[in-house]
Chain A
């Protein structure tokens, strides 16, 4: 059933969608924002070690629902599995208002200037990173995003102190909030880093260290990454830009509404979006502009599901690039055991980083920021951080946990991945979701050079821990299978050439001039850092552009 036409419909209220919605609502556009999940408030917050966005032993609290939302994963050996959200291989982020930003760890990194020009930086120096890869420069650079990084930092709210990072790109303003006071772990690692001649500093975080924009400061609890915040001190889109946009009266947010497809007329212009509401009723929302912000896997899926006479392969997919170059981050690092107690139970845990290994590693293309891990909850500790020389169970195991829990520091980093054309999202020919829509099928692998860099990073983490006084260190290595997960990106690449990319530098689909993709999908490469601030900056930039250039009713 068609509804009254609006200026823009935005699909997905995650990190990117609400920012575009706010930019458009502020200049008077009538905007509808469709979100598949629900809106949770701090009162819905549960601190549950077994049921959170990082550990779904008993399901995901912030979506998707366990039944009716399967995906298909193709493993390295070719075996296919139909997976439910809580099962390994699903590669979930979150499905709710705020998307990943409701429950994230909230590290707020700007990418390094060279992260936007991986080809120019490494083509002659590290040719093997370009074999069987789609490693490329972005069509935009750090300087294009700089003002929008700043806008995200001030409008959404970032604390930290990056003045000690000599490797960062140029910036005009400092962060709006100071860092939280250092933990014991921070002090131990800081000494070790200085001993190695590294440059440690306070991680920038989308978290209030002091009251900001009417919400309180962090109370430093143990349950941050993977959880909503009880005191609303963690800044996501759901408690910042979204309320601002709603206050204009120009935005209507429709929760529990899942887009089915983008509708296109016979002239090749998009006319609106077909979506299912929570009762399973099908609606048509006509709009002048459509913005797709469903996250890298679901945005690709929606475009592929939007088939029409003119676009039989799906929207934006004339040259078979939609869904390609699926990537995430390859996390590796090390755990260090200390003689003394290093744990002081002050959340969120992660606080200190070095960016000395982000670029310029001998013989390697790229690298990673290294940081200490968020507080590892007891079950996470026994299932993931345990010393491999200690038995998995029995007296010795219990003895180890009792002694070591407060004496271990994990250090890790997100290795920038070398994108691969064969790592991709397609539509599964058989499996459908609860509405009968074909689901995402994930297949591919990590580039061998990604593994090489990640091994180097694990060694660097070990070195840092030893220099900090660890008496025993063991490495965390990575597998070769497909990477996507919480940092999923790359499936609708930004570029100038329609033959080798999906959207233009303003995030507009090459094929159709009134459809935009604005989220992690457009990343050409995913940086050596957690991606969300870059996603936000791109959304501010695209929203700003659309608000100025777009034609209203």
Chain B
């Protein structure tokens, strides 16, 4: 666990830390924490952490980053549909990276500057994150979030990501020529549940 000397500082940090460890505890004993307003699965703290994570993978520059383009929403929606089997992977990974951030940098992952977030993700990509937090050194969680972030950023806006065609504008391709079929019925998106 994180030594208490590292907690403290601003109330925001403290609130984030306490909430995320509560979420981690809830994940451990199987209780379902409440989703953030406007989300289906992620808690407010998880949404913050994931937003920072995907913004490290696809950072804002002259074009929107992943968070602004709705990638967190894409993942959140799919965690209740096609990615349901990854619910516990996300819960565990988001809590683990935040605990790691607190112990290494004394604050929540969501509040780290880009370079420091990059440094942690590089370790995970190489499988060198602490084994007590990530049993495989972080590689599986890194690859999972990377794939989902790319899908959300470059896929179609109808799934919650690529808001305002952010990535398509960035690469210079126009939106769909025939509009009005932007949304699916639940049956089409998830036929086996209908």
Which residues of A does B touch, CB under 8 Å? 45-51, 57-59, 61, 65-68, 86, 219, 221-223, 230, 343, 345, 377-379, 381-383, 392-395, 397-399, 401-402, 405-406
Given the known inter-chain contacts A46-B181, A47-B176, please indicate yes or no for A379 contacting B191, CB distance below 8 A. Answer: no
Residues of B within 8 A of A393 (CB): 56-58, 121, 146, 149
> Quick one: given A59-B82, A395-B61, are A406 and B158 in contact (CB under 8 Å)?
no
A68 near B173: Cβ-Cβ < 8 Å: no
Residues of A within 8 A of B61 (CB): 395, 398-399
Give A69's nearest chain B residue, CB to CB.
Answer: B192
Enumerate chain A residues within 8 angstroms of B150, measured Cβ to Cβ: 379, 382-383
Query: Inside 8 A of A46's CB, which chain B residues have their CB?
Result: 181, 184, 188
Q: A382-B154, A401-B170 are in contact. List 5 more A-B contacts (CB 8 A).
A: A49-B156, A219-B177, A223-B176, A392-B146, A398-B59
CA distance A377 to B175 in the complex (A): 12
Docked complex: B129-158 residues within 8 A CB-CB of A? 146-147, 149-151, 154-156, 158
Given known contacts A48-B156, A66-B191, A379-B155, A394 and B171 CB-to-CB distance under 8 angstroms: no
Q: Is the CB of B59 within 8 A of A221?
A: no
Q: Does B167 count as interface, using CB distance less than 8 angstroms?
A: yes
Contacting residues of chain B (157-194) with chain A, CB-CB under 8 angstroms: 158-159, 167-168, 170-174, 176-178, 181, 184, 188-192
**Closest chain B CB from A48 CB (angstroms):** 5
Name the distance in Å between A84's Cβ and chain B's nearest Cβ: 10
A394 touches B59 (CB 8 A): yes
Whether B192 contacts A65 by the Cβ 8 Å rule is yes
B180 to chain A, nearest CB (A): 11
Residues on B with C-beta less than 8 A from A58 are: 78, 81-82, 159, 189
Nearest B residue to A434, CB-CB:
B192
Report the Cα distance A154→B191, complex, angstroms: 37
Cα A406 to Cα B63 in complex, Å, equals: 17
- A/B interface sample: 28 pairs, CB < 8 A: A45-B181, A46-B181, A47-B156, A50-B151, A50-B159, A58-B78, A59-B189, A61-B188, A65-B191, A86-B82, A230-B178, A343-B173, A345-B173, A382-B150, A382-B154, A383-B150, A393-B58, A393-B146, A394-B57, A394-B59, A395-B59, A398-B61, A398-B63, A401-B170, A405-B171, A405-B172, A406-B172, A406-B173
> A58-B78, A58-B159, A378-B154 known; A394 and B172 CB under 8 Å?
no
Note all chain B residues with C-beta closer than 8 A to A401.
Answer: 170-171
The smallest beta-carbon distance between A269 and chain B, in angstroms, is 39
**B58, A379: Cβ atoms under 8 Å?**
no
Tell me if B48 counts as interface (CB < 8 A to partner A): no
- Evaluate contact between A378 and B167: CB separation under 8 angstroms: yes
Check if A398 sits within 8 Å of B58, measured CB to CB: yes
B68 within 8 A of A: no
Chain A residues with CB below 8 A from B158, complex form:
48
A392 — which chain B residues lie within 8 A by C-beta? 125, 146
| Alpha-carbon distance between A45 and B63 when the two chains are bound, in angstroms | 31
Q: What is the CA–CA distance of A57 and B155 in the complex, to the nearest angstrom? A: 10
Known: A67-B192, A382-B150, A383-B150. A221 touches B177 (CB 8 A): yes
In the assembled complex, which residues on chain A have CB atoms less than 8 Å from the CB atom of B58?
A: 393, 397-398
Docked pose: A142 CA to B176 CA in angstroms: 42
Q: Which residues of A contact B147 (CB under 8 A)?
A: 383
Q: Write out the residue numbers on chain B whose beta carbons fall within 8 Å of the beta carbon of A402.
A: 63, 170-171
What is the distance, in angstroms, from A298's C-beta to the closest C-beta of chain B?
A: 19
Return chain B residues, CB-CB under 8 Å to A219.
177
The one of A48, A86, A378, A382 in contact with B168, judged by C-beta atoms closer than 8 angstroms, is: A378
Is B82's CB under 8 angstroms from A57's CB?
A: yes
Beta-carbon contacts of B108-127 to A below 8 Å, as 1s and 0s?
00000000001001000100
A-B pairs with the 5 shortest C-beta distances? A67-B192, A378-B154, A405-B171, A379-B154, A393-B57
Q: Tell me the minimal C-beta distance from A491 to chain B in angstroms.
A: 28
With a cutoff of 8 Å between Cβ atoms, the chain B residues found around residue A377 in the complex are: 154
| B118 proximity list for chain A (CB < 8 A) | 394
Nearest A residue to B191 by beta-carbon distance? A65
CB proximity of A401 to chain B, nearest CB, Å: 6
What are the residues of chain B within 8 A of A45 when measuring CB–CB?
A: 181
Q: How far is the CA of A533 from the CA of B78 in the complex (A)?
A: 38
Within 8 A of A (CB), among B80-126: 81-82, 118, 121, 125
Residues of A within 8 A of B59 (CB): 394-395, 398
**Closest chain A residue, CB of each to CB of B60:** A398
How many angstroms from the CA of A383 to the CA of B150 in the assembled complex?
8
Minimum distance in angstroms from A65 CB to a CB of chain B: 5
Which residue of chain A lies nearest to B59 when distances are taken between CB atoms in the complex?
A395
Least CB distance, A221 to chain B, in whole angstroms? 6
> Contacts of A383 on B, CB cut-off 8 Å?
147, 150
Residues from chain B with a CB closer than 8 A to the CB of A65 are 191-192
Distance in angstroms from B36 CB to nearest chain A CB is 23
Complex CA gap A51/B146 in Å reads 18
